[in-house]
Structure 1
Amino acid sequence: MQGVGPNLAISFSVYDTVRSYWHYRRPDDSTGLVSLACGSLSGIASSTVTFPLDLVRRRMQLEGAGGRALVYKMGLFGTFRHIIRTEGLRGLYRGILIEYYKVVPGVGIVFMTYEKLNQLLSNIPES
């Protein structure tokens, strides 16, 4: 829960900001492609900010499942310190490129679908 809330908040705010700016600068561009591009950018932004927290969560799960409960016993902040001490700040972003491969198309498609459904549903007459 600590990672999902910030991830969604960042994703939606970046999406809305970038989409508004894009429409202001290029109002005639295709809505679907704009949503796909802006959604992809918002996915990159939200993943970049929240990835360290997700990495720590996964490390704690793997260490606990592997029987090496040392990292799990350190808690959230202890695991952060352990990663920084043993791997440096770069260690908090180990695997982020793979995360981008997953997030960029996924979040882009989600926002493109959201905009298309919003457009379709807004054209339905009320009864």
Structure 2
Amino acid sequence: MERSRVTREAPTGTRILLASLSAMVAESVTFPIDLTKTRMQLHGSGSASGAHRIGAFGVVSEIARKEGVIGLYKGLSPAIIRHLFYTPIRIIGYENLKGLIVRSETNNSESLPLATKALVGGFSGVIAQKCR
């Protein structure tokens, strides 16, 4: 991995690849938790009296019993595809926007006010949402 002498960062292509891979791993690991949460929400939405809540472990065991363990990953492909594009645009966009603000090597991102970092992060998130 060849690094730029000025910024000491990996090339943009490498950063995009690593952001995509990390998003894929993160989505794969957390997907069953998100699926469980969604199923729990759906369980409670069916009745006015508040449906019998079986808890997270009950939902997971119900999915595994009815759909098999692979059922915990039902719908993972679209989620991974979304994050393969959205996450690198958001992360690399943030780094590039921050780089526009911080030009000199003596002025690092640590010196930026929290409000500026939040604004740049929000703006890069908006750009990523519009690009997907």
Please give the range of the TM-score, normalised by the shorter of the 2 chains: 0.5 to 0.7
Gaps of 5+ in 2: 108-132
Tell me: higher relative CO, structure 1 or 2? Use CA pairs within 8 A at least 6 residues apart. 1
Change (3 A) 1:35 1:115: farther
Partner of 1:11: none
Aligned-pair RMSD on alpha carbons?
2.4
Aligned length: 100
Counterparts of residues 28-43 of structure 1 (less than 5 Å): 31-43=11-23
Which one has the bigger helix percentage? 1
Superposition TM-score, scaled by structure 1 size: 0.67
Q: Which of 1 and 2 has greater Rg?
A: 2
Counterparts of residues 1-127 of structure 1 (less than 5 Å): 25-27=1-3, 31-67=11-47, 69-70=51-52, 73-123=53-103
Is the 8 Å Cα contact of residues 32 and 116 (structure 1) preserved in structure 2? no
Counterparts of 2:26 and 2:37, CA distance in 1: 16
Is the 8 Å Cα contact of residues 3 and 11 (structure 2) preserved in structure 1? no
Gaps of 5+ in 1: 1-24
User: What letter is aligned with 1:107?
Assistant: T
Is the 8 Å Cα contact of residues 44 and 103 (structure 1) preserved in structure 2? yes
Partner of 2:123: none
Counterparts of 1:32 and 1:63, CA distance in 2: 44
